Chain A
Amino acid sequence: MLREKIERHILKVQKPSRYIGGEIGSIVKDKSKIDVRFAFCFPDVYDIGMSHLGMKILYSLTNSRENFWCERVFSPWIDYEKIMRENDIPLYGLESLEPIKDFDFIGFTLQYELSYTNVLNMLDLAGVPVYSKDRKNLSPIVVAGGPCTCNPEPLTDFVDIFILGEGEEVNLELLDLYAKMKKDGASKEEFLKEAVKIEGIYIPAFYDVSYNHDGTIKSVVPKNGAPEKVKKRIIKDFDNVFYPETFVVPFTETVHDRAVVEVLRGCIRGCRFCQAGFIYRPFREKSIGTIVNETKSLCESTGYEEVSLSSLSTSDYSQINLMLNELVDYTEKEKINLSLPSTRIDNFSKELLEKIKSVRKSGLTFAPEAGTQRLRDVINKNITEEEILSACKTAFEGGYSSVKLYFMLGLPTETDEDVEGIAVLAEKIEKLFYSLPHRPKGRLSISISAATFVPKPFTPFQFEPQALPEEIKRKQSLLISKTNPKTVSLSWHKTDISILEAVLARGDRRLCDALYHAWKSGCVFDSWDECYDFLKWKKVFEELGIDISFYANRKRSYEEIQPWDHLDYFVSKEFLIRENKKAHEGIATPNCRISCSGCGINKAIGGACFE
């Protein structure tokens, strides 16, 4: 039996409880009563995947149906992968400890581009052919969802079905269709031809892509009744959407080891670099009653002593103070720590700070993203220096002596003055701190993280080139020379990681080959510094004659057909072009609550986003 084999070898690896299941909240069913078995795969380690909210939602949702059984699968870390391969242990579901190659669906969530090689590796570990065309039988069907499916082209050779947008409805529709057709003895092709009729379902094999001489896309032509443009799915009644009553409670400590309540979806801000701000539109909130009920239910059923309010920007919740008052009533009584990870500088009030602080002090992080007002207007990060300083003042007077600030380097139109502006801002924060009579004891510490900007699909910057690595390195050195090392600590990712991210994010189908060969040459866990090997990737690109700069560093014209143009996230290309032009003119766009900028999402919900 597989279980005995696993138990025999599991003590040789780090953190064996990642691989053995049995956690409270995990769902074990009688497989003889199941129509559809679904392996929900997160292409990274357990500790990261178990922190992901989307997986928790879809796991509970699928299992809420008696005839479906969804199990969790994570990428084994390299130590366990070696043991699995040496001892013929195929990739298995954590609930049944049975091989997932016998499941009906193998589903991946695509959260970041650098997990793509792990998708291939997991299919291979499962004992399933990685190429879609080599899997002839009805099962397993390989599906994928998540934010990266807004341009899944580099994975189109491997995945049978992509699910666009929010999964709470479409996943069940797809599984229902499958259950019915499996009973009727349908073939894979017959199933795919029916599935393509469901809104939100993208079957890449049903599209022929041709290219121009310059390498850009000439046309994308649908066949087999596939739609010209595949629309993403949106949950209209967000307050009543399915939400788990309980979570699987891991034994080992995970990145976010706590209860999580989603308070809102979408974002009103429209920061021009931020993909999430566009692909998760429209903005929708849960009612206070729902939020409080979900918090109670989760805390009681999991035993967690911390709850975090999740969203892209929690302080944009329309009745934030009222909501927090009601929540704090409960969390204080139960000694539960309440955390608000995504808070904006411009509505960071004393009142809000008191509430976060009321149970335990956690660190403060702000994201000005750019060092000067000019550049913040370009990227539409509508916050002023005054607001940044006033938020810091509130924090310092509230007892904080350290702040973390997020910036990006290589933003469109960025000059050296903008880079130096980061250092100038840090200096002003430092001066402010030491000028306060009621500042906390000790020294101030400012951590500045300066990520390399990666242009993403469905943003106004999708047309922009990524800055060349030499340029980024120069700007990093400039920043080092301008900051005070006693107060400011600087950090960034390796620049060559951002290059690969840029290539894959806006890549097309011709990158499938590169992905395959990179994986074959040993690339896995590309988002992990200890595993990432850019030289291997570079060699593969060279051998296949793929030009990195074509994907990463080229200015794309407004007219060019982008690899994702046949996918419809309701944010129109006209709007993105308009926003791109405004960026270059340095004109900001007001947030959606102030005025509608006509992105197109209202067509999907049949009316205005805000009353």
Chain B
Amino acid sequence: MNDVRAVFEKLGRARFISHLDLLRCMQRAFKRAGLPLWYSQGFNPRAYLMFPLPLSLGIGSICEIMDFTLVDDISCDEIKDRLNKTLPDGIKILSVDAPVKKHTEIAAAVYEIKFFDRNSNIILLFNEFMEQEKIEIQKVNKKKIPVQIDIKPQIEVLEMVSKDGQAVIKLKLPAGTQENLNVNSMLEAFQNFIKSEIDDIFICRTDILCLDGKKFF
């Protein structure tokens, strides 16, 4: 048995593969690559294949994490090569190692949002958005009752640049089991604030961090 952690990117067309579909896609890739996954023992055996931080549909990433267990001992380099030979366009394994940190240590994720809209000053608007006293969104709590929560303290702006009519905003948002803010929920709040829809946009997850601010992997 061989516990493995792979970091992969999900870009281009692969952004449109949903989380559930990704799971199936990966399982088949292991099969094609001749890498036998370890199956849980029991009535309905399942392959051990785990994504600690699912990515929303449409968002790109260069830091996706996938943990799995193989039946055989195969070197990390070989796992990476074999998978990369059979993964679909847009998904690429960047590194393969033995897992060090636990999933529960994940505390935040960094997102880079590119706005292609040339006609409005997104950065100015985003500053105004962040200057609000409160940024309230509706969420459903564990009892399935909708509640208003203030997400302003959760948003940490790391960088804002504007170049050639293209604005890039880099944000750090809480992620993981303790506290989590979906980048799409934040964007929805922003669109409500500016009262217009933004569809020309590219979001990419660029980093996954622990509580101490260090990289998860």
Contacts and interface: CB of A to CB of B under 8 A. Distances in A.
A253 B18 CA distance: 11
* Most chain A CB inside 10 Å of its own CB: which residue of B25, B27, B199: B25
B21 to A, nearest CB: 4
B217 interface: no
A489 to B, nearest CB: 26
Contacts of B14: 22
Contacts of B16: 7, 10-11, 16-17, 20
Interface string B55-67: 0011000000000
A11 B56 CA distance: 11
Given A17-B21, A251-B21, A22 B89 contact: yes
B151 interface: no
A302 B13 contact: no
A11 B59 CA distance: 10
B58 A11 contact: yes
A547 interface: no
B31 A305 contact: yes
A16 B57 CA distance: 9
A8 B31 contact: no
Interface size class of B (residues with CB under 8 A): 20 to 34
A22 B90 contact: yes
A544 interface: no
B17 A24 contact: no
B18 A303 contact: no
Interface of B: 12-14, 16-18, 21-22, 24-25, 27-32, 39, 57-58, 86-90, 199-200
B56 to A, nearest CB: 10
A302 B25 CA distance: 10
Nearest to B202: A7
A219 to B, nearest CB: 54
A9 B28 CA distance: 29
B58 A251 contact: no
B13 A22 contact: yes
B88 A24 contact: yes
A499 B93 CA distance: 54
A143 to B, nearest CB: 29
A304 interface: yes
Given A252-B18, A303-B30, 9 more contacts: A8-B199, A8-B200, A11-B16, A15-B18, A17-B16, A17-B17, A24-B88, A302-B32, A303-B86
B32 A303 contact: yes
Contact of B24 (A16, A21, A253, A301): A253
Contacts of A16: 16, 57-58
A21 B16 CA distance: 10
Contacts of B25: 24, 249, 251
Contact of A11 (B57, B86, B90): B57
A126 to B, nearest CB: 21
Given A8-B199, A9-B199, A17 B18 contact: yes
A418 to B, nearest CB: 43
B33 to A, nearest CB: 8
Contacts of B30: 303
A7 B89 CA distance: 15
A23 interface: yes
Interface in A2-41: 7-11, 15-17, 20-24
Contact of B29 (A8, A303, A305): A303
Interface string A266-309: 00000000000000000000000000000000001111110000
Interface of A: 7-11, 15-17, 20-24, 249, 251-253, 300-305, 335
15 contacts: A8-B199, A10-B58, A15-B18, A17-B17, A20-B13, A20-B16, A24-B28, A251-B22, A251-B88, A252-B21, A302-B32, A303-B29, A303-B30, A303-B86, A304-B31
Contacts of A17: 16-18, 21
B60 to A, nearest CB: 11
A95 to B, nearest CB: 11
A24 B29 CA distance: 9
Contacts of A335: 39
Nearest to A336: B31
Given A22-B90, A251-B21, A303 B27 contact: yes
A410 B89 CA distance: 51
B42 to A, nearest CB: 14
Q: Which of B39, B88, B90, B200 has the most CB of A within 10 A?
A: B88
Residue in A20, A21, A304 with the greatest tally of chain B CB atoms within 10 Å: A20
Nearest to A305: B31
B28 A303 contact: yes
Contacts of B58: 10-11, 16
A155 to B, nearest CB: 33
Nearest to B30: A303
Nearest to B90: A22
B89 A249 contact: no
A335 B87 CA distance: 22
A249 B12 CA distance: 18
Contacts of A9: 199
Given A9-B199, A11-B58, A251 B17 contact: yes
A145 to B, nearest CB: 29
Name which of A20, A24, A249, A303 has the most chain B CB atoms within 10 A of its CB.
A303
A146 to B, nearest CB: 29
A253 B17 CA distance: 11
A253 B31 CA distance: 17
The 8 residue pairs across chains A and B that have the minimum distance between CB atoms: A303-B28, A303-B31, A22-B13, A303-B32, A251-B21, A16-B16, A11-B58, A22-B89
Contacts of A302: 28, 32
Contacts of A22: 12-14, 88-90
Contacts of B28: 24, 249, 302-305
Contacts of A11: 16, 57-58
A303 B28 CA distance: 4
A24 B57 contact: no
Contacts of B88: 22-24, 251
A219 B68 CA distance: 69
Nearest to B200: A8
Contacts of A7: 16
Contacts of B90: 22
A20 B13 CA distance: 6
Among A9, A15, A17, A249, the most chain B Cβ lie within 10 Å of the Cβ of: A17
A22 B17 CA distance: 10
Nearest to B58: A11
A303 B17 CA distance: 17
Contact of B32 (A8, A23, A252, A301): A301
Contacts of A304: 28, 31
B40 to A, nearest CB: 13
B20 to A, nearest CB: 8
B41 to A, nearest CB: 13
Nearest to A24: B88
A24 B30 CA distance: 13
A111 B10 CA distance: 36
Contacts of B27: 303, 305
Contacts of A21: 13
A373 to B, nearest CB: 42
Contacts of B13: 20-22
